[in-house]
Amino acid sequence: MVRITLPVPANIKTRAQVLEEKWNLRSLTLVTLTVEDPVEFLAERRLLKNSSICCACNISRTVIKNNCSDKIIWRCPTGRGKKSIRESSFFSDSNLELLTVITFMYCWAKDMPLKNCSKEVDGPSPNTECDWANFCRDICAEWLLTHPRVIGGFCDDGNGNIVPAIVEIDESYVFHRKYHRGRYTPGAWIFGGIQGGDWRFFFGRGPKPDKKNSGSFD
């Protein structure tokens, strides 16, 4: 049984540090070469747990190598149970390799066409690719809904001049079964706007946009 150490606390990054990072496919490949690297990469950015407590005996689990898809699991030192390294994470319900998911998410975030994302990861079925694209969109949509910002008015044009802000708005009707599984959920009208320059935005949902419902979006 080979034990592995996840990142020490000093290596765990804050949200601000993560936002300052700059990546390309080459640099991403260089930090995810071994079996443990993708796990460490995600744990450093708080996307995987850095610790796990055994519910049965209330002691910390250790990380060991295993023959599962991730090659690493959480294991109670007393031998009372094992848990996936993905426990309670965004990746917990997926069978894809973590490196595949990391690469796909990078390509998606770079706004690559889905067929190009597929070529870079070389593996998932078309349905799986569509599911993961939807997962990523859902996370972004949830963040937008929970972090609304006021846009418009006046702003700095970058040269010290105060000018009217330029705002682009649009609406769309969206619908799909949640992750293509389970109970069908009806669609909804989505209304959003973005302010150029500083990338402030808002996102809301509501009834069909017409004269009667004007101004009734959440």
The DSSP string of 112-147 is: --HHHHHHHH----HHHHHHHHHHHHHHHHHHHHHS
Q: What is the pTM of this model?
A: 0.74
| Structure confidence at residue 209 (pLDDT) | 65
Mean predicted confidence (pLDDT) in 21-31: 94
What are the two backbone dihedrals, phi and then psi, of residue 205, each rounded to the nearest 5 degrees?
-135, 155
The vertex-163 CA angle with 159 and 165, nearest 5°, equals: 115
Q: What is the dihedral of CA 116, 128, 177, 204, to 10 degrees?
A: -40
Residue 28 has pLDDT above 80, yes or no: yes
Distance CA 75, CA 83 (A): 6
More confident residue, 98 or 191: 98
Higher pLDDT pick, 101 / 192: 101
Structure tokens at 45: 């950015």
Give the pLDDT score at 54.
Answer: 85
Dihedrals phi, psi of 30, to nearest 5 degrees: -65, -25
- What is the H or E stretch that residue 38 is in? helix 36-44
Enumerate residues 6+ apart whose C-beta is below 8 A from 191: 169, 170, 171, 203, 204, 205, 206, 209, 217
pLDDT higher at 144 or 215: 144
34 vs 28: CA distance, rounded Å: 12
- Give the confidence band of 195 by pLDDT, cuts at 50, 70, 90: confident
- Rounded to whole angstroms, the Cα distance separating 89 from 49 reads 8
Measured in Å, how far apart are the chain's first and last C-alpha atoms? Answer: 54
The pLDDT value given to residue 186: 67
